[in-house]
Amino acid sequence: MVVIKDKREMSKTIFIALSAIFVASLVTCNLIVNKFVTINLGFKVFEISAGILPYPLTFLVTDILSEIYGKRKTSQVVFSGFIASLFVICFLKLGAYFPAIESSPLNNSEYDKVFGNSWRVIGSSMIAYLAAQFLDVKLFHFWKTLTKGKHLWLRNNASTIASQLTDTILVTTILFIGVKSNSDIFSLIIDGWLFKMLCAFIDTPIFYITSAYFRKLFNLKLGEELTD
C-alpha cells in the first residue's frame, strides 16, 4: 500500500511539473512573439516569430499527458493555459495604464513598442491556441483508439501536423491581416508550419522515451492511462 501511495504522489508531482512546463512555454510564446528571426539550417532558411521556438514543446507535453493521464486531465491543462494567458494580458494592460517614472529603465514608448499590441498578439494566440490544442488532444485520442494504443509515432505526429497547421494559419492570419500582404502572410504560415513540423519529428523519439519511462514507472500497458 505504501508503494501505491508513493506512485500516486509521484504521478501527481509529474502531472504538476508537466503542466507547469506547458503553461510557462505558452506564456513565453506570447511574450516574445513580436520578435521575428531567421534560422538557417543549411537546407532552408526559416523566417519565423521567436514565439514559435518554445511552442512545439506545448504539443509534446500535451501528447505525453494524453498518453499517460488521459483526455480529461489534458484538457484541463489546456484550459489552464488559456486562463494563464488571460491573466498575462490583463496585467500587461495594467502595466501600460500607469506612466513610467523618470528613472524607470523602460519608458512608456519602449513598453508600448514591446507590449503595445499585446492584446492583439495574445488574443490571436488564444483563439489559435484553443482551437489547435483541443484539436491535438481530440486527434491524439482518435488515433489512439483506432490503433488500439499501438503506433505511438502515428498519433504523435498525425495529431501534431493537423493541429500545428491550424494554429499557424489562425494566429498568423489574425495577427497580420491588414498589416502585411497576403503573400507575406502565406510565406510566414509556410515557414512557421514547416519549422513546427521539423520540431515535431525531432520530438518523436523524446515522446517515445518519455512515455515508455512513465508506463514502466506506473506499470501501465501500451495504450493504458492512469486513473484518478
Is the pTM higher than 0.85? The answer reads no
* Residue 37, helix vs strand vs coil: strand
Give the pLDDT of residue 210.
92
In angstroms, rounded to a whole number, what is the distance separating the alpha carbons of residues 158 and 145?
14
> Which residues of the chain are modeled with pLDDT < 70?
1-5, 116-123, 152, 156, 228
Q: Where are the domains of the chain?
A: 2-217
Give the pLDDT of residue 14.
93
Give the pLDDT of residue 5.
59
Task: Provide, for the chain, the percentages of residues in helix, strand and coil under a 3-state DSSP scheme, each rounded to the nearest 5.
Answer: 75, 5, 20
Give the pLDDT of residue 228.
66
Fold of the 2-217 domain: Arp2/3 complex 21 kDa subunit ARPC3 (1.10.1760)
Give the pLDDT of residue 1.
36
User: Are 155 and 147 contacting, i.e. CB atoms less than 8 angstroms apart?
Assistant: yes
